[in-house]
Amino acid sequence: MTTGNKLTLKQQRTEQVNQVIRIIGNHGRHFFFNQKANRYACMEVDQRGKIWFIDDFSSRRIFIHKTNWGGRWRGFSHGGTLRSLIERFRDYIRTGEPLHPGYLGPERFDDCNIWGYDIEGMRAIREQAGALPVFRQAITEAA
């Protein structure tokens, strides 16, 4: 596969991830959405194929690949759980390997989710984002 085709595929997967980010930002606690600035976080791919995260709060462009000089993401305004999600999104953009749907608001033991989203918001996110190719789809058996 040529480099141009790889870049095009990465850009297509980036847009799918950005759809997921907007869905998450439209519900519950509105992660990845800055209401004051009316801005969503997003991901982008540069011409070299490197993947960047644009933070909704700081509006900083953050290099999210592993580096030799440490793993600090200067300007990232979210916590570790959402950083892990962004890392999984990065991996999906790079490889095309879909994520497990459990990454959408991982469940806790007391029947709630780790993001603290309300039941309706979490259900909407799982239905809308889970239908996108970013996440593995449930296999249905033919009768």
Residue 139 has pLDDT above 70, yes or no: no
Which 3 state secondary structure label does DSSP give 80? helix
What values do phi and psi take at 105, rounded to 5?
Answer: 60, 70
pLDDT digits (tens, 9 = 90+) for 25-80: 999 999 999 999 999 999 999 999 999 999 999 999 999 988 777 778 889 999 99
Task: Assign 141 a pLDDT band (cuts: 50, 70, 90).
Answer: low
Residue 112's pLDDT is 80
Residue 74's pLDDT is 87
Residue 107's pLDDT is 83
Residue 104's pLDDT is 92
pTM of the model: 0.90
Residue 67's pLDDT is 79
In the chain, where are the structural domains located? 3-130
The CA angle 39-32-82, to the nearest 5 degrees, is 160
